[in-house]
Structure 1
Amino acid sequence: MNCRLGCGACCIAPSITTPIPGMPDGKPAGIRCIQLDDSNLCKLFGQQQRPAVCGLFAATEDACGKTNAEALWLIGSLEMATSA
């Protein structure tokens, strides 16, 4: 599956525990990444400063569903199930 450009769910729903430029402590789940632009595209895509975890994320129907709203719900649910 290819990413839906402008979705941004993977940059909002999960927590990221590694530093992100502009967010040195990473980001909590449900908080929009500072590197996500107004079109929900990553400003760091393809750049060395992009966190490794972001580059490892692969869009799949199980994680991203069929809509952006479903992606936020699915990724958020995965985050909740795996944190604690």
Structure 2
Amino acid sequence: MQCRIGCGACCIAPSISSALPLHPFGKPAGVRCLHLDNENKCSIFLQPNRPLVCSGFQATEDACGSTKEEAMAILSEWEVMTGSRQPLPTANDRN
């Protein structure tokens, strides 16, 4: 599958735990990467300092679905399933 140019879901939905330019402590899930331009294209796509987690991501139908909205939903769900995104604390957690 070819990446949908301008989608950007893989640069928004998942967390990135490694440091990258402009994100020295990584990037939380659901936060737009600072390297996405106004057209949702990665400004460091061909740069050697692009993180391995980014360059290793391959667009597949399983990950990206058939629309940007599906990609956001799938990748966000993967964050929850892998424990990368921590649930919000409840009142019971504070006691």
Max radius of gyration: which structure? 2
Please report the TM-score for the alignment, with normalisation by the length of structure 2.
Answer: 0.86
- 1 or 2 for the larger relative contact order (CA 8 Å, sep ≥6)? 1
Q: CA deviation at 1:57?
A: 0.2
CA deviation vs aligned residue, 1:6-40 (integer Å, no higher than 9, x gap): 00000000000111111100100000000111100
Partner of 1:48: 48
Unaligned runs of 5+ in 1: none
Matches within 5 A, 1:1-84: 1-83=1-83
**What percentage of aligned pairs have identical amino acids?**
55
Aligned length in residues: 84
Unaligned runs of 5+ in 2: 85-95
Deviating runs (4+, > 2 A) in structure 1? none
Q: CA deviation at 1:49?
A: 1.1
- Cα root mean square deviation, aligned: 0.8
